[in-house]
Structure 1
Amino acid sequence: MSAQPEITQRDLRNRSKEIMDAVQQGKSFTVTRDGHQIGELIPLRRRRRFVSRAEFTAMSRSAPDISIDAFRADQDATTDHNADDPYAR
């Protein structure tokens, strides 16, 4: 049995505004058809846009060190050095 409430395909069709409002408020549903679970209706995760300076500093402290030489080698390996210059005349 699922932890979230089950709704039938018909309920989803007939009560779509009510159900979508609930999803927007963070509620999840399992959708069924003919008694079989066919999918989940879940809210999207919201990405935070602002990170405080203190939080950024804390995250930066635990970030792995970057090898400049390895980074440059990766860039060189993936760059097409023979690419045509679109501005060459």
Structure 2
Amino acid sequence: MAAQPEITQRDLRTKSKEIMDAVQSGQSFTVTRDGHEIGELVPLRRRRRFVPRAEFAAMSRTAPDISPAAFRADQDAAVEQEPDDPYAR
């Protein structure tokens, strides 16, 4: 794993547009002040909105089997089965 480049606090302030453009394109930086590392500037992970069909099929093949009886038992344990009577005193 390659070390991420270091930028000084001053560079972050004066070259913020260029640095933020690099972060947006996936680059990470270590921020320093007076020669000491004080933080990391890393891009946010973006969640995919679409999973290709082949990838979904591959994940499904390795997924564990679901027992309908066990699933129902879990639901019954988590949900109150008797509705409240609004007229009970």
Give the TM-score category using the shorter length. 0.7 to 0.9
The change in CA–CA distance for 1:18 and 1:75 in structure 2 (over 3 A counts) is same
Q: CA deviation at 1:27?
A: 0.9
Is 1:55 the equivalent of 2:55? yes
* CA RMSD across the alignment: 2.5
Per-residue CA deviation, residues 8-61 of structure 1 (Å, 9 max, x unaligned), is: 122111211110001111111001122221211111223222222222212111
Structure showing greater radius of gyration is 2
The one-letter code sitting in structure 1 at the alignment partner of 2:39 is G
Q: CA deviation at 1:64?
A: 0.7
Equivalent positions of 1:4-83 (< 5 A) are 4-81=4-81
SS at 2:30's partner residue?
A: strand
Q: CA deviation at 1:80?
A: 4.2
The one-letter code sitting in structure 1 at the alignment partner of 2:52 is S
- Count, aligned residues: 86
Q: TM-score, normalised by structure 2?
A: 0.75
